[in-house]
Amino acid sequence: MLQHPKVKGPSVGLLGFSKGGDLCLSMASFLKGITATVVINACVANTIAPLRYKDMIIPHLSSDPGKYTITESGFFNLVDIWNNPLEEPNQESLIPLEKAQGPFLFIVGMDDHNWKSEFYAHVASERLQVHGKDRPQIICYPGTGHCIDPPYFPLCRASVHEVLGQPIFYGGESKAHSRAQVDAWQQIQTFFHKHLNGEKSVKPSKL
């Protein structure tokens, strides 16, 4: 990315959502040249599959699929299937955020039915502070579900999951979710402009 002609450098920022979020946390923790990381509704532990980097392996966070529930509409609610990453032996799946070079911004939908995103964001904050790092910026949006897209995308409360092949419930209430998308988009841009360009604000989006 740093060699791409469109990339200003000397560093890059990362933006990840859901599983992509914990991948970004891992990249920020192990790779050089990353000085700002934003994650949207993500876990603070490695998920889904083991992560291999050089001679190290971070196991995936274990789960109990039997703890899923089904909504009145027949959608799967997965928020309770994931085991607590703070409990043994799940601690081995925690991503060592304290190794990262730059700050973090956690965008949290408080009606996320895929991950306990608010809990994970606060776990990340406590871990960073225990290791003498600055606490991350955490922005929580009430009534907001899992899929926080850029502004004016329609609310996606449920869909057939590409990997699981099942109809999954994501949560979110239309009005609150839409407002969150607009605000989160501005917060993300402001964060990147501040930590990549040294600017404190960004002009409102015309999207």
Catalytic, 18? Answer yes
pTM of the model: 0.91
The single residue of 22, 26, 29, 112 carrying the catalytic annotation is 112
**What is the arithmetic mean of pLDDT over 128-146?**
96
The single residue of 122, 146, 177, 195 carrying the catalytic annotation is 146
Catalytic, 146? Answer yes
Region at 10 (left for phi over 0; alpha for psi -120 to 50; beta for the rest): alpha
Catalytic, 62? Answer no
H helices present in the chain, as ranges: 19-30, 117-130, 174-192
pLDDT at 190 over 50: yes
- What is the chain's mean pLDDT, rounded? 92
For 12-197, CATH gives: 3.40.50.1820
The single residue of 18, 29, 117, 178 carrying the catalytic annotation is 18
125 vs 34: CA distance, rounded Å: 19
